[in-house]
Amino acid sequence: MKSTKIYDQAHEWIVFGRDPDKLEKIIDTNQYMVKVGDRALLLDPGGTEIFAPMLTAVLEHVRVDQISDLFASHQDPDIISSLGLWEEAVPESRLHTPWLWEGFIRHFGSHKIEFVPIPDEGGVIDMGAIKLQLIPAHYLHASGNFHVYDPVAKILMSGDVGAALEAPEAPMFVEDFDQHVANMKMFHQRWMPSNRAKQDWIQRVRKLDIEIMAPQHGRMFKDADVGHFLDWFEALEVGVAVP
């Protein structure tokens, strides 16, 4: 699995993905890690099927015992079905996840790890020198859903918002926004159920200073493309499966 540093200052952001050995029918995912001093936080650490390549890639950057926190934006299997495997490795770590999904996520084989339920209005993951903000993104697409904003690195981990279904060899960043729209359109129209939730999220996110918007699938958006995405998403009709 490929790992790329997208922010490398006093703390680091690393994206893991584009696994060439991934089984063909498994959706490609981006996993993120925020490394602050001796601690590391894994954001949407992924499904069981990619656990081994993901942990291999993580071990290039940190020791197992440095992983102090996990975050699951929502309950989907590609987000957190590997929990039972992580738990054996980092039983002392904490899992930050929407309160709504705790009872569901525990079905992924969790007995030891400490759950930190995130209230609907959001919260903070305190990584010591860095305080990461938990931005509500309910109904985008899950009914309890959060994104993670780093005000220092100016990165928004945006979960399924901004996602695109692409080949594993796709570039890490959007290069031509207009061309990229075709990769995102169906995903957003079908997976995102609520225009009202979408508008609410856009209003909230427009107030943030974002240099990189980092979705859980496909390419990341940089600088002006973040604004391009918000404009495009604002105009898009979602929830189209309802006749």
Partner 1 sequence: MTRSLNKKENILIAAATISSELREVRKIAREMSLGVMNAKAISHRAGDTARGFRPITDFIDEMAHEIISLVNQISKQSVKFSYLAVRHRHLYQTTIHYQKIIDQGDAVKHIKSLKKVMSKVNADSEQCRKSFIAMTRKLSTLLEDIQRSTRGAQIISATSRVEASRAEGFSQSLEVVANQVDDSTDNIRTRLQISHDHLIGVLNLLCREKW
If you ran DSSP here, which 8-state letter would residue 169 be given?
T
92 lies in the binding site for partner 1 (CB under 8 A): no
- Interaction residues for partner 1, span 54-83 (CB under 8 A): 55-56, 59-66
User: Which range in 84-92, 123-131, 139-147, 201-209 contacts partner 1 by CB under 8 A?
Assistant: 84-92
- How many CB atoms sit inside 10 A of residue 90's CB? 20
The dihedrals phi and psi of 82, each to the nearest 5 degrees, come to -80, 0
Pick one of 10, 27, 89, 124: the residue that binds partner 1 (CB under 8 A).
89
Q: How big is the CA angle at 73 (ends 164 and 30), to the nearest 5 degrees? A: 40
Measure CA 111 to chain center: 24
Instruction: Please identify, using beta-carbon distances, which residue of 64 and 165 lies nearer to partner 1.
Output: 64
Dihedral sign of CA atoms 64, 27, 5, 60 in order: positive
88 lies in the binding site for partner 1 (CB under 8 A): yes
CB of 51 to partner 1, least distance (A): 5
CB of 10 to partner 1, least distance (A): 21
Which residues make beta-bridge pairs with 35?
Answer: 12, 40
CB of 2 to partner 1, least distance (A): 15
Torsion of CA 192, 166, 155, 144, to 10 degrees: 30
If you ran DSSP here, which 8-state letter would residue 28 be given?
P
Pick one of 77, 109, 122, 151: the residue that binds partner 1 (CB under 8 A).
109
6 lies in the binding site for partner 1 (CB under 8 A): no
The dihedrals phi and psi of 230, each to the nearest 5 degrees, come to -60, -40
- Encoded one letter per residue, x for contact with partner 1 by CB under 8 A and - for no contact, window 151-170 reads --------------------
5 lies in the binding site for partner 1 (CB under 8 A): no
Binding site for partner 1 (CB under 8 A): 51-52, 55-56, 59-66, 84-85, 88-89, 109
